[in-house]
Amino acid sequence: MFDMKHAAVPASPTAYADAVATAVRAAEAYYADGSTPLGDDEYDALLRSITAYEQAHPDQVLPDSPTGKVAGGAASGDVPHSVPMLSLDNVFSAEELDLWAAGLERRLGRPVAGWCVEPKLDGLAVAARYRAGRLVQLVTRGDGLAGEDISHATGAVLGLPAELGEPVDVELRGEVLLTQSQFEQANAVRLAHGATPFANPRNGAAGTLRAKDRAYRVELTFFAYDALGLPEPAHSELLERIAALGANTAAATAAGPRHCTDVAQVQQRIAEIGALRAALPFGIDGIVIKADAAADQEQAGSGSRAPRWAVAYKLPAVHKVTRLLEVEWNVGRTGVIAPRAVLEPVEVDGVTITYATLHNPADITRRGLLIGDQVFVHRAGDVIPRVEAPLTEQRTGAEREIVFPTDCPRCGDAIDTSQQRWRCVRGRGCQAVASIRYAAGRDQLDIEGLGGTRAVQLVDAGLVTDLADLFTLTREQLLILERMGDTSADNLIAALAAAKAQPLHRVFCALGVRGTGRSMSRRIAAHFGSMAAIRAADAEALAGVDGIGPEKAAVVVAELAELADVLDRLAALGVGTAVTAPTAPATVSGSSAASASAAEDGPQGPLAGQAVVVTGTMTGPLAALSRTETNELIERAGGKASSSVSKRTTLLVAGDKAGSKRAKAEELGVRVVTPEEFAELVGELLV
């Protein structure tokens, strides 16, 4: 069997034949339904090794070799294409791209008249045929010469209009894919109908396009990247014409097509799109570079498999296949019991992955995972790796069931399994040390001198079981602890006294309510103005806070009810009792009295109405602030702090090495300021 761990040039004809057979099987699975035993990186490496062997031994090339064939020779169809639908050659580095571009210019005998750079969408290539502006047929790429008629699927493909804005005869070519939100919705629908979830978005798109007579609907999205029958002088202008006709293109996204005058600009745009990858609503596996001028394309021509005027710059894969070795069960600070996948180490997007999230026991059951399964692992940017689905066709029979715990893995007490997320019946009491350490952290109550070792001592001595107990500690109690002298005890008592005066949002954050964090705690505190109003709010009122939906609101209400005793004792001790004017009326359930009235004109301040994102290394006056303190400053100034750039963002504070967030802000036309300019905006509030 060919060794995929080290896809070097085959050392013998037998090894070469094994490599070809492995590649053919992988291509057949990939182009059939999107499944494959190999990740993109492994398949690309395998093809390069086969190509190298064939170049060295041209007399030994096997007829079923995937090299030089569209779709690796694995796809076919019975609907002829009027013009072949070709694949793209690949480059894998800036140096390879420079060599390719120089080769194209040598072929032309002159410089290329500009380039068009656009994302390489990770979907299925299709041709949409229009007659007099009406969609009449949808065909897969197949083997490039003929494809499969999938016209039955057109009603579920967004961005592919049934009628164009003009009565033209045209064939639009593009990719059909599942966006990330469509992928998640599709799997939810499939699970509700008793079907197995899709392994990844491409698998889902392939299966959905070919499916007929399903009992449920799965929506997909079309992105056009070419057209036959629309003579335009440049590819970038052709894309504009397609969009004007009403079809979807990538132009509306931050990674959309851009004209570049030289290869240096191309390289810069590649870096920008690569940096945006994690934030895009759809998957990309590379960037496509095309000679923009139609005259350059015509002169360069095409080979049997790929055009000579375009190339794909491949990015590291964010989906990889590896083996599920074991499942660990960890207990969080709120008592939630979380399963974690232990994986055979695999490199994904430049990072070696050994562990991945499995969400909850119900998710494991729905996905039908077994120990020993080959599984798809996904990682994009800095997102926590997750296991998506098993490759059931790769099972050998040696796999075994995942054993769910019957008792809490930490304390041995019972488990509450009434919700999807299982929880120790002791709740926060199971992880009292973790809860206390979290509450004392810098971004919560900032209790200096209360680190991990001291928290363990307090809990083990029976002095502290929850947050409220901290504020009943006496100097005499502290002095009985090992390595606690007079000075240390006095300092901790003083730090606890200072913590009592922390603002409402920090006290609320210290509670560790599930579904909330630093940003959400600030919003909740600003919305209601007092702990009493927060506690009196029902789920409907909480859902009115920006970013809290009905589901999360119900969790917060339940958590606050569970924390009632702790909250009562904190109030009696004067912790979290500060009252401020809320930013919105706080609705109170039942016959409870209404909370303090809202300020009539909403948030005030130099950033009123602004949605602000801070990124990069801060300089000037902001250099002394933590990111949490900077976000608090934004909200004191009337703005809303956010961690990601979107169409709702109105201001980006960009420090050194701002990276992808700055690029996305510039694409969206968001105002960008330096840390020093931002300091001037907020003025005296910074003091």
What is the total residue count of the chain? Answer: 687
Q: What is the average pLDDT across 543-565? A: 87
pLDDT score at 6: 47
Share of the chain above pLDDT 90, in %: 45
Q: Please, are residues 158 and 179 in contact by the beta-carbon 8 Å criterion?
A: no
- CATH 3.30.470.30 domain residues, the chain: 79-314
Distance CA 295, CA 232 (A): 10
- At 594 the three-state DSSP class reads coil
pLDDT on residue 349: 66
Give, in order, the Cα–Cα distances in Å from 490 to each of 465, 486, 570: 21, 6, 21
Closest CA to 522 of 642, 632, 599: 632
* Mean pLDDT value of segment 414-423: 89
**DSSP secondary structure letters along 117-156:** EEEEESSEEEEEEEETTEEEEEEE-TTSSEE-B-GGGGGG
* Chain region(s) in the chain for CATH 1.10.287.610: 13-67
DSSP state of 593: P
Question: So what's the pLDDT on residue 593?
Answer: 37
Q: What is the mean pLDDT of residues 198-208?
A: 82
CA distance 628 to 519: 8
Token output for 5: 């761990």
Is 285 in contact with 109 (CB distance < 8 Å)?
Answer: no
User: Which residues have a Cβ under 8 Å from the Cβ of 128 and sit 6 or more positions away?
Assistant: 135, 137, 138, 154, 160, 171, 172, 173, 174, 222, 224, 247
Q: Which two tokens stand for residue 390?
A: 């098993």
Q: Provide the pairing of β-strand 284-291 with 115-121.
A: antiparallel
- Catalytic residue, from 69, 120, 552, 647: name it: 120
CA-wise closest residue to 468 among 443, 432, 441: 432
Supply the pLDDT for residue 3.
Answer: 45
Q: 472 pLDDT exceeds 60?
A: yes
Instruction: Answer with the residue of higher pLDDT: 586 or 401.
Output: 401
Check residue 661 and give its pLDDT: 83
- Dihedral pair phi/psi, residue 288, rounded to 5°: -100, 130
Residue 1 confidence (pLDDT): 41
Rounded to 5°, angle at Cα 50 from 48 and 53? 110
Task: Answer yes or no: is pLDDT of 598 > 60.
Answer: no
Residue for token digits 């909480």? Answer: 542
Helix (H, G, I), strand (E, B) or coil at 525: helix
Task: In the chain, list all ranges with CATH 1.10.150.20.
Answer: 427-499
pLDDT the model gives residue 646? 83
* CA 525 remoteness from chain centre: 28
If you compute the radius of gyration of the chain from its CA atoms, what whole number of angstroms results?
29
Average pLDDT over residues 161-176: 95
How far apart, in whole angstroms, are the C-alpha atoms of residue 269 and residue 249?
A: 18
Closest CA to 388 of 363, 371, 420: 363
State mean pLDDT over 105-113.
96
Would residue 120 show up in a list of annotated catalytic residues for this protein?
Answer: yes
Confidence of residue 510 (pLDDT cuts 50, 70, 90): very high
Q: Evaluate if residue 295 carries a pLDDT over 90.
A: yes
Residue for token pair 């009985």: 480
Q: What is the mean pLDDT of the chain?
A: 86
With vertex at residue 484, the alpha carbon angle to CA 479 and CA 488, rounded to the nearest 5 degrees, is 100
Indicate whether 590 pLDDT > 50: no
CA distance 611 to 621: 21
Q: What is the CATH number of domain 611-686?
A: 3.40.50.10190
Q: What is the pLDDT of residues 63-98, one digit of tens each?
A: 888 886 655 555 556 789 989 999 999 998 999 999
E strand or H helix at 457, and its extent?
A: helix 452-460
Q: Which of 309-318, 319-328, 562-571, 657-666 has the lowest mean pLDDT?
A: 657-666
d(CA 378, CA 200): 9
Cα–Cα distances (Å) from 528 to 373, 538, 613, 614, 635, in that order, read 49, 12, 23, 25, 14
Start and end residues for every CATH 3.40.50.10190 domain found in the chain: 611-686
| Cβ atoms of 129 and 209 closer than 8 Å | no
Look at residue 37 in the predicted model and tell me its pLDDT. Answer: 61
User: Model confidence over 445-459: pLDDT tens digits?
Assistant: 999 999 888 999 998
Task: Give, in words, the CATH class of 427-499.
Answer: mainly alpha
Please determine, looking at this structure, whether the domain spanning 319-394 carries the CATH number 2.40.50.140: yes
Q: Which fold has domain 13-67?
A: Helix Hairpins (1.10.287)
C-alpha dihedral sign at 162, 166, 171, 173: negative
Cα separation, 513 vs 556, in Å, equals: 7
- Residue 128 tokens, joined: 């949409």
Give the DSSP H/E element, type plus range, for residue 328: strand 319-331
Give the pLDDT score at 74: 55
**Superfamily (CATH H level) for 79-314:** DNA ligase/mRNA capping enzyme (3.30.470.30)
4-32 per-position pLDDT tens digit: 444 578 888 888 888 888 888 777 766 65
Which residue spans of the chain are classified as CATH 2.40.50.140? 319-394
